[in-house]
Chain A
């Protein structure tokens, strides 16, 4: 379903400042798999997620999702691809602090031009599913870290994506909230979504519902 072919990614602000985030990486992810990308900071996990989400382009190589060469897409088509296929949970959640919970979750639906009733139905459904409906009118800046994360998860799921990418999702959570997040992952996995989690949180290691754990170091996959 997701195929990375000979992917290299070099961040280069000038000739003296080159950072190679990924070195000739090739890997496949199957539909419905839950994969952990493990490795220390700077190992290339986030870069790989951003390439799969078409948030950035590789320096060379190809990312193919369902036969579509997404690394070759122009920005407008990449945005459409993301909107239709990807739910991204960021480490710092990337919510809009002054908007309410409901409005933050509603945002990805705006370009779809759904009717107000239909959009509200979608939003209500995910708010209930991720237990945040009771805070729907509160600005997200007033929420705790765990609640903000639930909003981020709800927002990532509101467009019913088939791929969920999570970048260090528990980095800002205590153990109890991290375990709750893991339960949410289990539920998402049961819905046959393809999930890739980049983390170095040991709580994720050895979980029974994780299909593969992939170790990364210095932009390479450790086999």
Chain B
């Protein structure tokens, strides 16, 4: 295993988080099985105290997971300098079979933990705490995914062989690549862009209609279509190179770390959109529309500026 300072930091933090996640899991299980808000027995008061402890642990795990995810991407990016062929984090992700599933799992877990926070906040707003059992049952499921992520991360770092030559992002995300991604990247760009902007407009329509389930569904598709269009179309305008299709390079200094901002907008926008499946909240609609609009404007600026500067499309 490559034991760079960044990887060591990740491994140590993962070990600490796992320790606390296991404590929270044990408490969550107890609460899920035994919690009875109508009871005034000693065991119930103990469970109520433990629910504060478990909730605090889960909140702090989430608070650490967000910067840790960014640090993970930064680590992959930095690691690309040590692996032959890798030009950015994409090469490192593709260096083993575990990279892509790990990245997907990390993103999924971020959504799940954020969703847990929403559930917890809703629960804490009501003096009857109506979602205590639900939120801890939810954590019990998320816990296994979290542990899966930790294991997969360890296995991925362990499996990276710096002597092997890996593909760079240009190959991984090229249209001719044999990967399953190439199917999406080969799709007609006009169709993809129409889909992207239609989904964006549909969000406003379903907001007007106050149809939260349709709004949530649109957000779910918006994540997928946004990522595909970002790699296949918008990214090329960020790099100003039609052949450069990569979801990682714009996280680098050369591109003013713009990727972090775009991903943050997309994550927040779709996250708030997805939370509406749980509860109708005006604030949820507005935050989702705000961040998704920020993302859409953010990515749309690049081709528009390119066209105004050069008078042609890529």
Contact = CB atoms under 8 A, between A and B. Distances in A.
Given A5-B40, A72-B37, A76-B124, A60 B129 contact: no
Interface string A52-90: 000001111110000001011110110000000000000
Nearest to B127: A77
Given A71-B40, A72-B37, A72-B40, A60 B127 contact: no
A57 B37 CA distance: 14
Q: Is the interface of A mostly helix, strand, loop or mixed?
A: mixed
B256 interface: no
Interface in B123-165: 124, 127, 129
Given A71-B40, A72-B37, A58 B129 contact: no
Contact of A74 (B41, B42, B45, B129): B129
A61 B40 contact: yes
Nearest to A80: B127
A74 B40 contact: no
B45 A57 contact: yes
B37 A60 contact: no
Contacts of B124: 74, 76
Contacts of B37: 72
Interface string B152-189: 00000000000000000000000000000000000000
A164 to B, nearest CB: 23
Nearest to B123: A74
Nearest to B125: A76
Interface in B29-47: 37, 40-42, 45
Contacts of A77: 127
Contacts of A60: 40-42, 45
A72 B40 CA distance: 8
Interface string B14-53: 0000000000000000000000010011100100110000
Size band of the A side of the interface? 10 to 19
A81 to B, nearest CB: 9
B42 A59 contact: yes
B40 A62 contact: yes
Interface string A117-134: 000000000000000000
B306 to A, nearest CB: 51
A79 to B, nearest CB: 11
A3 to B, nearest CB: 12
B35 to A, nearest CB: 12
B127 A58 contact: no
Nearest to B129: A74
A57 B48 CA distance: 10
Interface string B115-129: 000000000100101
Nearest to A7: B40
27 contacts: A5-B40, A6-B40, A8-B42, A57-B45, A57-B48, A57-B49, A58-B40, A58-B45, A59-B42, A59-B45, A60-B40, A60-B41, A60-B42, A60-B45, A61-B40, A62-B40, A69-B40, A71-B40, A72-B37, A72-B40, A72-B48, A73-B127, A74-B124, A74-B127, A74-B129, A76-B124, A77-B127
Given A57-B48, A61-B40, 19 more contacts: A5-B40, A6-B40, A57-B45, A57-B49, A58-B45, A59-B45, A60-B40, A60-B41, A60-B42, A62-B40, A69-B40, A71-B40, A72-B37, A72-B40, A72-B48, A73-B127, A74-B127, A76-B124, A77-B127
Q: Which 3 A-B pairs have the closest CB atoms?
A: A77-B127, A62-B40, A60-B42
Interface of B: 37, 40-42, 45, 48-49, 124, 127, 129
